Structure 1
Amino acid sequence: MKKFDKERALLAVAGPVIALVAAILLTSIVLVASGKNPFEPYRLMIEQATFSDVQVLIVNQASMYYLAALAVAVGFRMNLFNIGVDGQYRLAAMVTAVVGAHLALPSFLQVPLLLLVAVLTGAFWAGIAGILKTTRGVSEVVATIMLNSIATSLIGYLTLSDVWGVQVGNNMTTGEMKESGWVPGIGMGSDAGEIYGLVFLAVIAGVLYWLVLNRTRFGFDLRATGASETAAAASGVDAKKMVLTAMLISGGVAGLSGLPLLLGDAHTYSLSFPTGLGFTGITIALLGRNNPVGIAFAALLVAFLDKASPALDYAVPVAYEKEIATIMQGLIVFAVVISYEAVRQWGLRRQQKRVGAELAAEAARTNNSIKKEVAV
């Protein structure tokens, strides 16, 4: 058993490591082809990570990436591709900001209420795709992509000045939220800034994700349905119900993704609120292999690339394009898919050889036993 566990752990680590190394090598080739030093950008970005203010930015960004990636991972474990996390999180953040701007309760009630609003909004938006899939057989990929566009248009309408929008300079916002809904951050010094108070929400979500999937009957049913709907149905699991439930949970977690920023810093939803978080979450979930610990490291890596890369524009004497980090993220996606398949095939061959060796050994023992009986 110990040998099997070690080999499984090796296979789990091999995929991400190979993907990361391959992405770095390919990015270096791109740099060489463009006549640039292939090592200097990495040194500059690593140097940026030693500054406390950049470290705070990385942790804050990673908390949002982590929640988005967990939302994607829930779908992946169910063999569902929720590509609509971006729309779910933006719509949830906007609705939460509106509620927070128009409702003032004591802080111990206001913050939980805003969290609940975000979860319900994200779950509702993802649930539309879940219902379409279970009742009409519509692919969740198509449905969630279309819902992303609809969410963008809906947000644009709801933030009009004659609906819930408030014009602030050249920016259209939902108005500043009541202070009772603000979540104080963790001060890291006057120069470093603050870590979002809801960073702990990401930690709690990761623990719950692991516990539910690995230590509950519901988690087992969810994973079993994702592996084979027919096999799950044969054991009494309602596959359609599990599909809808998984989409609702995925959307609910997606709804929380923007709250660290919304409640910890921005305190309003505006046109400058970040987009693309859900698509980055897909990369992180793939790189982390849907494992909460792996996703945490992947979220920190991608956040590091995001927050350290701007320094490349100001490098002296030769400036580098910060898009190098974007190229690396894109290459990571390709490398992840290829390396995971290569590792899976290697592991399968290892397993087949081991089983073959065990069968051969058992056959040899059986032949020896027969020979001894005949001799007697």
Structure 2
Amino acid sequence: MTDPNDPPNPEPSKPEPPKPDLSKADPSKADLSKADQPGGPEPVPAWKAILRGMGPTGLALRIGAPVLALLISLVITMILLRITGADPFSSVQSMIDYGTTENSIVDIVNRATRYYLSAVAVAIGFRMALLNIGVDGQYRLAAFFAAVLGGAVTLPAPLGQMLVIVAAMAVGGLWAAIAGVLKVTRGVSEVLSTIMLNAIATGLIAYLLNDERLAEVRPGSNNVATPQIPDDGRVGSLNGFLSTFGIDLPGEVYGLLPLAIVVGIVFWVVINHTRFGFDLKVSGLSPSAAQSSGVSARRMIVYTMVGSGVVAGLIGMPELLGASYEYSLNFPAGLGFTGITVALLGRNHPAGIALAALLFAFLDQTSDVLQEVDVPKEIVGVMQGVVVLTVVIVYELVRRWEIRLQQRTVAAELATGHDLARVAAGTTGTGGTGTGGTGSAS
């Protein structure tokens, strides 16, 4: 028996845990990447990681979907041409021959520049599940007031051009902000509000574009227009720059073409590589989830509409500062609605939008030549609708197919994980029994 007064037996000594390396407390000195450890795997480039994540089937679907959609739309278009009594092959060949001339190429590039800016403005709203139909009114109102300001103020270059561009962006953003504020404060659908704002913009321009108000009628002309922008406020063409590379074109390419390229790059970077772009997409997918993570979906709606309007204000700038130098009754209209179809066709991606803008510009440019082969030019509108409809249907089918592939992949991985867990559990159970038996025998 033990004496209760005896001190208790000391606990068996345990090895002291290793002291932490304080040098690793500094994140700048921490080495948490296996790729940086000796003998670790090499880092995988981003493009390879994307391709691996998509898999060969997913990659084939992504590449084949637009090609298949264009082929289907081409077949349907040729059938429609045959129904009208025209030879589809000669009609398409006439369009290609006319569209590849130097004059047509210049016009196609200029048209595509306007279509591209319009589509990017629409795509900004699409990224947050907002349909900004008011792009048409926003760019026309912005171009009108920018033309009035540019014709009234004379500043040395480049201040004159910058003033006009900034004014257009401000007008477009403010006009679009009205729809955003109405949506978050009164619950008014942006579709309805922007449609009404388009009508208001049209009426406001018609009222102000008068020789008794902000416009004038020049001698020998019946066209009402704003005062012309002086030479210091204009933007020259890119022909001089292109001629240094041996490219001589008969027409003038918009000098603000690089601006459209910059807008596309900024759009892609902001949406895919900034916190704002992430918050924008999350707010569009699930406002409640965005709210729970500390993002104000209401504020993001207003920001998105303002951003869309700011880009919409740039749509008319290539034409205003590079060709017409005034806002008149002949100023290009309807670009906002074209931008919706181009954005849909381009899947809201800057590269896809660029290709879609070139395609629509090509179809618009070559519509006149169809009359020479006894085909009504209105068939081009049908062709554009067929292209968009076909692309939307094909992409929806591809999206559903990808979801099924992902579900099958996840199910297979889960099944493999369960099998490994059973094997591991069986091995552990067998080892435990053997140890227990040995202990009993001893």
* TM-score, L = length of structure 2: 0.81
**3-state SS of 2:250 partner:** coil
Give the CA deviation at 1:19: 3.0
Q: Percent identity between the aligned chains?
A: 48
Higher helix share: 1
Q: Does 1:3 align with 2:58?
A: no
Tell me which of the two structures has the higher relative contact order, counting C-alpha pairs closer than 8 angstroms and 6 or more residues apart.
1
Q: Does 1:218 align with 2:268?
A: no
Give the CA deviation at 1:12: 4.0
- The correspondence of residues 1-376 of structure 1 with structure 2, limited to 5 A, is 1=49, 2-6=51-55, 9-168=59-218, 169-187=221-239, 192-315=250-373, 319-374=374-429, 376=431
My pick for the range that moved more, 324-333 or 99-108, is 324-333
**3-state SS of 1:153 partner:** helix
Which residues of structure 1 form unaligned runs of 5+? none
Give the CA deviation at 1:364: 2.2
Cα 1:39–1:99, aligned 2, differ >3 Å: closer, same or farther?
Answer: same
Give the CA deviation at 1:190: 7.5
8 Å contact from structure 1 (residues 89, 257) kept in 2: yes
Letter matched to residue 113 of structure 1: L
Name the CA distance, whole Å, in 2 between partners of 1:14 and 1:260. 34
8 Å contact from structure 1 (residues 121, 255) kept in 2: yes
Name the CA distance, whole Å, in 2 between partners of 1:249 and 1:278. 15
Give the CA deviation at 1:39: 2.1
8 Å contact from structure 2 (residues 69, 387) kept in 1: yes
Which residues of structure 2 form unaligned runs of 5+? 1-48, 432-442
Name the CA distance, whole Å, in 1 between partners of 2:72 and 2:125. 27
**3-state SS of 2:217 partner:** strand
* TM-score, L = length of structure 1: 0.95
8 Å contact from structure 2 (residues 84, 375) kept in 1: no
Give the CA deviation at 1:16: 3.1
Cα 1:113–1:215, aligned 2, differ >3 Å: closer, same or farther?
Answer: same
Give the CA deviation at 1:175: 2.1
8 Å contact from structure 1 (residues 167, 173) kept in 2: yes
Name the CA distance, whole Å, in 1 between partners of 2:170 and 2:205. 16
Name the CA distance, whole Å, in 2 between partners of 1:373 and 1:336. 55
What do you get for the CA RMSD once the two structures are aligned?
1.7
Name the CA distance, whole Å, in 2 between partners of 1:143 and 1:24. 37
Name the CA distance, whole Å, in 1 between partners of 2:176 and 2:217. 30
Cα 1:11–1:233, aligned 2, differ >3 Å: closer, same or farther?
Answer: farther
- 1:153-180 deviation digits (Å, cap 9, x = unpaired): 1000110111111114121111211111
My pick for the range that moved more, 27-36 or 289-298, is 27-36
